[in-house]
Homo-oligomer: A and B are copies of this chain.
Amino acid sequence: MGANEREVPRLRQKKFQEMDLLFHPDSIAVVGVSEERLSTGASYLLGLLRAGFKGKVFAVGRNSGNMAGLPIYRSVREVPGEVDYVSVFIPREEVLALLEECRGKGVKGMQLFTAGFSELDEEGRKLEQELVNKARHLGIRLIGPNCTGLSCTKQRIALGPLGFFGEEGNVAFLSQSGGFGAVIYDYGSFLRLRFSKVISFGNAADLDAVDFLEYLLLDPDTQIIGAYFEGAKRNREFLAVLKEVAKKKPLVIWKGGKTKEGRETAFSHTASLSSAPWIWSSLIKQVGAVEVESMEEMAATLLAFQNLPPLRGRKAVVIAGLVGAGGGMSVASSDALALAGLELPHLSPSLRARLQGIFPRLVGTILRNPIDLGASPVRLGETLELLSTEGDFDLILFWLPIWQLLELGECWAEEWKKAVDILIEFNKQGKVPLAGIMPPGTMNEVGTKLLYEFQQAGIAVFPSLDSGSKALSHLISYYEGREQGK
Measured CB to CB, the residues of A under 8 A from B are 37-38, 40, 43, 46, 91-92, 113-116, 119, 146, 148, 160-164, 175-180, 182-183, 186-187, 189-190, 228, 230, 256-262, 264-266, 268-270, 294-296, 299, 321, 323-332, 334-339, 344, 361, 363-364, 366, 368, 370, 372, 374-375, 401, 403-404, 407-409, 411-412, 439-445, 448, 463-466
Asked whether, in the complex, the Cβ of B441 is within 8 Å of the Cβ of A324, the reply is no
Chain B residues whose C-beta falls within 8 Å of the C-beta of A164 in the assembled complex: 407
Asked whether, in the complex, the Cβ of B265 is within 8 Å of the Cβ of A178, the reply is no
Asked whether, in the complex, the Cβ of A189 is within 8 Å of the Cβ of B442, the reply is yes
Asked whether, in the complex, the Cβ of B327 is within 8 Å of the Cβ of A270, the reply is yes
Residue of A160, A182, A228, A440 with most chain B CB atoms under a 10 A cut-off: A440
Checking B160, B186, B323, B338 against A325 with a beta-carbon cut-off of 8 angstroms, the contacting residue is B160
Chain B residues whose C-beta falls within 8 Å of the C-beta of A296 in the assembled complex: 440, 464, 466
Residue of A114, A164, A294 with most chain B CB atoms under a 10 A cut-off: A294
Asked whether, in the complex, the Cβ of B363 is within 8 Å of the Cβ of A92, the reply is yes
A117 → chain B, closest Cβ, in Å? 10
Expressed in whole angstroms, the Cα–Cα distance for A335 and B448 within the complex equals 32
The contact sample of 26 A-B pairs, CB cut-off 8 A, is: A38-B411, A43-B412, A116-B364, A160-B324, A161-B375, A176-B328, A179-B327, A180-B328, A186-B407, A187-B403, A187-B441, A256-B331, A256-B332, A259-B334, A261-B335, A264-B334, A264-B368, A265-B331, A265-B368, A266-B331, A268-B368, A269-B327, A269-B328, A270-B327, A294-B465, A296-B466
Evaluate whether A262 and B325 lie within 8 angstroms (CB atoms) in the complex, with A299-B440, A407-B163, A465-B294 already known: no
Chain B residues whose C-beta falls within 8 Å of the C-beta of A372 in the assembled complex: 269
Chain B residues whose C-beta falls within 8 Å of the C-beta of A46 in the assembled complex: 409
Checking B38, B257, B261, B344 against A412 with a beta-carbon cut-off of 8 angstroms, the contacting residue is B38
Evaluate whether A187 and B440 lie within 8 angstroms (CB atoms) in the complex, with A178-B324, A228-B328 already known: yes
| Nearest B-chain residue to A364, judged by Cβ | B115
Asked whether, in the complex, the Cβ of B325 is within 8 Å of the Cβ of A183, the reply is no
Chain B residues whose C-beta falls within 8 Å of the C-beta of A43 in the assembled complex: 409, 412
Residue of A325, A331, A401 with most chain B CB atoms under a 10 A cut-off: A331
Chain B residues whose C-beta falls within 8 Å of the C-beta of A119 in the assembled complex: 366
Expressed in whole angstroms, the Cα–Cα distance for A230 and B368 within the complex equals 17
Expressed in whole angstroms, the Cα–Cα distance for A163 and B406 within the complex equals 12
| Nearest B-chain residue to A189, judged by Cβ | B442
Known: A113-B363, A259-B335. 5 other contacts (CB 8 A): A257-B331, A265-B331, A269-B330, A443-B443, A444-B445
| Nearest B-chain residue to A365, judged by Cβ | B115
Expressed in whole angstroms, the Cα–Cα distance for A327 and B162 within the complex equals 16
A443 → chain B, closest Cβ, in Å? 5
| Nearest B-chain residue to A202, judged by Cβ | B327
Expressed in whole angstroms, the Cα–Cα distance for A67 and B471 within the complex equals 46
Residue of A187, A363, A408 with most chain B CB atoms under a 10 A cut-off: A363
Asked whether, in the complex, the Cβ of B179 is within 8 Å of the Cβ of A338, the reply is no
Evaluate whether A116 and B363 lie within 8 angstroms (CB atoms) in the complex, with A178-B325, A324-B179 already known: yes
Evaluate whether A91 and B408 lie within 8 angstroms (CB atoms) in the complex, with A261-B335, A324-B160, A328-B179 already known: no
Expressed in whole angstroms, the Cα–Cα distance for A28 and B258 within the complex equals 56
Residue of A161, A186, A409 with most chain B CB atoms under a 10 A cut-off: A186
Expressed in whole angstroms, the Cα–Cα distance for A43 and B325 within the complex equals 14
| Nearest B-chain residue to A444, judged by Cβ | B445
A16 → chain B, closest Cβ, in Å? 27
Evaluate whether A330 and B162 lie within 8 angstroms (CB atoms) in the complex, with A374-B115, A409-B38 already known: no
Chain B residues whose C-beta falls within 8 Å of the C-beta of A264 in the assembled complex: 334, 368
Asked whether, in the complex, the Cβ of A407 is within 8 Å of the Cβ of B162, the reply is yes
Expressed in whole angstroms, the Cα–Cα distance for A465 and B440 within the complex equals 15
| Nearest B-chain residue to A363, judged by Cβ | B115
Expressed in whole angstroms, the Cα–Cα distance for A463 and B266 within the complex equals 23
